[in-house]
Chain A
Amino acid sequence: MLRLLRRRLLQGVPLILGVIIMNFLLIQAAPGSFLDVMSAESQVSDPAMLEQLRVTYGMDQPVWLQLVKYIWSVARLDFGFSYRQNMPVLDVILASLPATLVLMLASLLIALLLGVTAGVVAAVKVNTIWDNLLSFLAVLFFAAPSFWLGIMLTVLFAVKLGWVPVGGMMSITAANQGVLDVVLDVLHHLALPAMALGLFYAAVYARVMRAAMLEVLSLDFIRTARAKGLGRWRVVLAHGLRNALLPIVTLFGLQFGTVLGGSIVVETVFSWPGLGSLMLDSVSSRNYPVVLGVLVFSSIVVILVNIAVDLAYLRLDPRIRAR
């Protein structure tokens, strides 16, 4: 297992290097720069001052030199400096990261719980009204755009019923509360955005889980288990579910990155102060150092999660370990 871990980590290095080079060049190719935005926002009226800013931010240097310098600084875990927040990029990212991680993990948890459960029930009750109902819901949540779903959930649960807050990560009075109250407050605020983001992935998991379960439940070892006299749900959960989980684990690894992307929309609708909001701000202000930093940072996270998924395979399927 250690050898696999080492190999995967080594494979991740050129991958990250590729991500850096590709994103750096793509951003350079985008029209407009943060100096254009800065000039507009700050009403800079002196062209000489703009030129001075170009020098200050190293934009007067050739692109290849800027790229080499950037790679070298990332190698030293220095992601550069954000002129906009007036802070090192790493600090900017770390300030927003916890909110996004909380949202991602909560939504993935919802997706796994609801999706796997719905998929199992639909497979066990195949071609019944339950199967049809769950399939309909899966299609509905798969098709519904997350921003629309977010607004609908807000109107129903926050405006009409008043059960949960409209947006934000915590109440504006949270600073005066104890730790437990803050945690409960965050969970209270988390409910809707996690649902808005998680229901889409729950729909995906439900469809995949249903198909996987149907396939597994038709295999010989299931028939054998039933012939041995095991209870229906024991067969399903202890034998069927475990074997049907592999596609879900694969999907989980693959979707970690897309959840991060999807969180941009949900964070906007719910004013969730995470990396998605930061990314949106940074792209619209051409805040290159932060955009690059977030992309590199999320690439690292996705690579690490996929390594964890590889390791989970070993645990879940002994056949892979034997190979």
Chain B
Amino acid sequence: MPLSRRSILAGGAAATLAAGIPGFAHAQATPKRGGTLVATWGGFEPQALFVPPGGGTSPFFTSTKPLERLLALDQQLKWQPVLAQRVEPAADFRSFTVHLRRGVTWHDGKNFTAEDVVFSAMQYWKPLSVGVALNALTATRALDSHTVRFEFDRPVPEFFFNSVLAGQGGLVIPKHIYETGNIVTNPINNTPIGTGPWKYKEWVRGSHVEYVRNDNYWENNKPYLDRLFIRWWRDPASRLAAFESNALDLGCFNPVPMPEVDRLVRSGRFAADSRGYESSAWCSTIEFNVRKAPFDNRLVRQALMHAIDRQLVVDTVFFKRGRPGLNPILSANKLFHTGDVPKYDFNPAKAAQMLDAAGLRKGRNGRFSVNLLAAGWFEENGKIGQIVQQGLEDVDVKVNLSVPDRPTSLKRIYTDYDYDIALSNYTAPIEAVPVISQYYVSDGIAKGVAFRNANGFHTPAMDDLVARLTVETDPAKRTALAHEFGRQAATEVPFLPLVEFDSLTVARSDVKNISTGSNWMGETWADLWLDR
């Protein structure tokens, strides 16, 4: 996907999306000004409204309303200008020139300039929020008040660079606020000052944060709403009750229990939409610890995949809102996903044959024993663990299933490597490097570091493939490399998505312009309006 001045300008018009679900038609009507919206998500209150190193989904949700990024990726996976008006790569792709929007002010009235972007890139993105993805960044220079050049020590694909600018770690922070003291512990993180459409007003811990309209926002007439509340209910059933009692207008990322979604939609007062998560699609994964026998044998890993009824997982655990996973680059990723990979249909007889062929014949105590760990951060993982246990035991593999809580799971998987098979999760952005690729390469092995290569798998061929994917600047060749990466990953099976599951946004039917981005929960919501 090439991104240049041309592609940005071409995609500059607002995306008009097909309306697949009643109530979520992306409104063609003239938006109405005013009103208050109460929103939530399917998780807890953040530890701070803005957590510079990341901090997970909750602070991402709250920080992206007052703070903005340079670019956004729309639902059709086209780049849209935000604080950057255009991005121009050098001919050798070792530098990029970013032309910034003029006339933008911070919420405290100071002007937004190139110095803010230079500071954000070198003091915040590279050391804190983006990390290894910006290893090749050597310098960021302000060419004038609204032009910045990013310099790299190797060629950088344009899509990769834009993904950083539009990514979760790419928020632009004000230099004049953060240049003194520690960015991570700055108290301003709880009263964020940005350029975005929403100005912080109040955070009542344990209850809600209130944002009010930024009357000086750079985009005319936006935001449409006057006030935005993000409120937290810890319990999904309580969120459901809040919807039904009109205390809640909108919830992102599965706010209510899955079986209740259809009932809400049938009432006609609510709608549910699975769009808006293309760049933050979730999956449940299976991970084989290849340090241990017999999981160091590819044939065994493939055999065990055949023993698991993944459609049963989709049907019973996710209430049919998902699909078996094929490729670590998930199917929501229309740019880099391919279905042309080895597939592991549910076939216990074949699994048994393959295990026999691997020399693991059935004995008095079965074929072998497995220490199966289902990470306890999602309730669903424990249920998946039971289905996997059942599948493996049907091919005479003894299973010891444990579902430890989040900190214990993290320690056992990523620090102690204390598992044979782990059931975990990841959320995948469109750009596969490094978030997805790091699970398969030697560079990704870092003891104690979460959501990296804990399984110990690496081969020279995969290392080489990912190295080429990292620097390939030709979009067509890069797509082909990404497809090859998916094929190799699905062949080797050290770590694969078991199922991809849908994330849902639920909202009252009169809330308009929902799900308009590829990671909509983290968009600014300047174009949200109420038809009341």
Contact = CB atoms under 8 A, between A and B. Distances in A.
Interface string A28-62: 00111111110111111111001000000000000
A99 interface: yes
Contact of A285 (B51, B232, B407, B451): B407
Contact of B446 (A47, A154, A172, A285): A47
Interface stretch (B5-13, B233-241, B522-530): B233-241
Contact of B207 (A37, A44, A271): A271
A266 B190 CA distance: 27
A95 interface: yes
B407 A32 contact: yes
Contact of A86 (B45, B185, B231, B234): B185
A168 B207 contact: yes
A166 interface: yes
A94 to B, nearest CB: 12
B167 to A, nearest CB: 11
A244 B190 CA distance: 52
A140 interface: no
Interface in B387-426: 404-412, 414-415
Given A32-B408, A86-B185, A166 B446 contact: no
B53 A169 contact: no
Interface string A261-288: 0000000111111100100110011100
Contacts of A50: 448-449
B206 A36 contact: no
A36 B54 contact: no
A87 B453 CA distance: 33
Given A45-B131, A159-B244, A172-B229, A40 B207 contact: no
B139 interface: no
A107 B496 CA distance: 50
A36 B407 contact: yes
Contacts, number: 162
A36 B185 contact: no
A170 B210 CA distance: 14
Given A41-B55, A166-B238, A36 B411 contact: yes
Interface in B234-257: 234-235, 237-238, 241-242, 244-245, 247
Contacts of B231: 168, 172
A158 interface: yes
B407 A31 contact: yes
B311 interface: no
B343 interface: no
Interface residues of B, number: 54
Nearest to B169: A43
Contact of A284 (B45, B54, B405, B414): B405
B408 A31 contact: yes
Contacts of B207: 168-170, 172, 271, 273
A322 B54 CA distance: 64
Contacts of B410: 32, 36-37, 39-40
Contacts of B499: none
A84 interface: yes
Interface residues of A, number: 52
B47 interface: yes
Contact of B234 (A41, A95, A166, A268): A268
Contacts of A147: 235
B150 interface: no
B38 A172 contact: yes
B520 to A, nearest CB: 21
Contacts of A277: 206, 234
Given A32-B407, A39-B410, A172-B38, A47 B235 contact: no
B450 A39 contact: yes
Contacts of B247: 165-167
A32 B406 contact: yes
Contacts of B452: 45
B447 interface: yes
B218 interface: no
A151 interface: yes
B205 A31 contact: no
Given A168-B207, A172-B207, A44 B238 contact: no
A258 interface: no
A42 B245 contact: no
Interface in B170-205: 185, 187, 189-190, 202, 204-205
Nearest to A164: B245
A148 B450 CA distance: 35
28 contacts: A32-B408, A34-B407, A35-B448, A36-B411, A39-B448, A40-B450, A41-B55, A41-B56, A42-B53, A44-B131, A45-B452, A47-B447, A50-B448, A84-B47, A86-B189, A151-B237, A154-B237, A159-B241, A159-B244, A166-B242, A166-B247, A172-B207, A172-B208, A270-B238, A271-B233, A277-B206, A281-B44, A285-B407
Q: Which 10 pairs between the two chains have the least Cβ-Cβ distance?
A: A273-B206, A32-B407, A40-B450, A42-B53, A36-B410, A45-B131, A32-B411, A41-B56, A31-B408, A42-B54
